[in-house]
Amino acid sequence: MATTSPTVTDICLAAKAASRSLAQLDSGVRDAALLAIADGLEARVDEILDANTRDIEAGREAGIPGPLLDRLALNPERVKGMADGVREIAALRDPVGEVIEGWRLPNGLDVSKVRVPLGVVAIVYEARPNVTIDCAALAIKSGNAIVLRGSSSAANSNAVLGAIASQAAAEAGVPEGAIAVLSSGEREELAELATREGLVDLIIPRGGEGLKHALKAVATVPVMYAASGNCHVYVDATADLDDAEKIILNAKLQRPGTCNAAETLLVHRDAAPAFLPRALKALREAGVELRADARTRTLAGDLGPTLADATDEDWDTEFHALILAVGVVDSVEAAIEHINRHGSGHSDAILTNDTQAARAFTRGVDSACVYVNASTRFTDGGQYGMGAEMGNSTQKLHARGPIGVRELCTYKYVVEGSGQARP
């Protein structure tokens, strides 16, 4: 007898039913499910790596660039890191039922603002298999069901990881259907998911501008964008140049395919003559392609004539590669203006020993995460002590920055009385 695969609507219906039961589970059951997922990852590491090898081989044949292949690749250390991350999430304080604030009215009514799960969260993401586990764990911890729709380039990895998480969670007492993976990769599937009003409470796209625009064109359910990261490092006039060189190298090179990697370096005109020759030499030696404005080329020493011209498009581009746009500015205010005009509102950093410049930067740059004397690569839920993240929200409602367990909750007002009726 032929079997029929469940449709997107079938999967969302099951997730909605599971979410109602999941929201009422004790935290102990949800935490036990997370620990079971972590154990399952470590026990089935060979199966995970075999599936990931198939994805990597297919990616190479398809010509996926090196930095994006790095995002796709798993190894024993990364799988262990995923398991450790799940355990960190399990150890977090339970957000469900947390009283945010409360007060008593003159008529004797007690009002409490209580944190509750959103319901069904859908996440659409590109070729990073660890997102499958991070997001499943965050959803269970916050009492939400989750529908995961990954990239076709990671289909084998995501299928295995999703199956491990779903099976382990169900065996620990989480309702069937609470963790689901969509696997076809067809655009019609994305459109169907984004229009399941009443079944999906929130959809989070975690990827580039193309994914963001594709969802904008069709979505009828609420969307929280964890989108592109056109991030900047600004070296102010008073910066420690050793620290500045170390940080720009880290922000660009540590994992250039991530959304919190630096894509533009801005340097104050007073620091540029001393800083640019050394920093650009180090970046070039590390394999970074440099695209510079005219002032940078003039001040870059021997490298100047070899630098490509930075175009208007370069300032607006998230390269996801070993490419960096470089410019010279006259002031911190000019740096702020450049970042707010060209940036994506993700993560931006200032290197300075001037308190007033630091204050102006943190107040003036309109981004989710703003750094003083630190790398943009720290924008990550795990680095922030949140265990992991669904992504980094570049919008302002209802959450901004790393999306952790509290950002996956809403709230309700619980009002307790003793027979009061409104006069």
Q: Is the Cβ–Cβ distance between 158 and 181 less than 8 Å?
A: yes
The reported pLDDT for the residue numbered 2 is 46
- The CATH homologous superfamily for domain 231-378 is Aldehyde Dehydrogenase; Chain A, domain 2 (3.40.309.10)
Distance CA 171, CA 160 (A): 17
Q: Which residues on neighbouring strands pair with residue 179, listed in sequence order?
A: 146
Q: Is the Cβ–Cβ distance between 347 and 367 less than 8 Å?
A: yes
What is the Cβ-side half-sphere exposure of residue 264, based on CA atoms within 13 angstroms? Answer: 33
Nearest to 230 by CA among 316, 170, 164, 297: 316
- Give the count of beta carbons closer than 10 Å to the beta carbon of residue 387: 23
Distance CA 198, CA 178 (A): 16
Q: Do domains 8-226+390-416 and 231-378 have the same CATH topology?
A: no
8-226+390-416: CATH topology is Aldehyde Dehydrogenase; Chain A, domain 1 (3.40.605)
Distance CA 199, CA 12 (A): 6
The reported pLDDT for the residue numbered 126 is 82
Distance CA 82, CA 104 (A): 44
Q: What is the pLDDT along the chain (423 residues), one digit of tens a residue?
A: 445 678 999 999 999 999 999 999 999 999 999 999 999 999 999 999 999 999 999 999 999 888 788 889 999 999 999 999 999 999 999 999 999 999 999 999 999 999 999 999 999 998 789 999 999 999 999 999 999 999 889 999 999 999 999 999 999 999 999 999 997 667 788 899 999 999 999 999 987 778 888 888 899 999 998 868 999 999 999 999 999 999 999 999 999 988 999 999 999 999 999 999 999 999 999 999 999 999 999 999 999 999 999 999 999 999 989 999 999 999 999 999 999 999 999 999 999 999 999 999 999 999 999 999 999 999 999 899 998 899 899 988 889 999 999 999 999 999 999 999 999
Q: What is the pTM assigned to this prediction?
A: 0.89
Domain spans in the chain, listed from the N-terminal domain onward: 8-226+390-416, 231-378
The reported pLDDT for the residue numbered 209 is 75
Distance CA 203, CA 221 (A): 7
Q: Is the Cβ–Cβ distance between 251 and 221 less than 8 Å?
A: no
Nearest to 178 by CA among 131, 98, 117, 229: 117
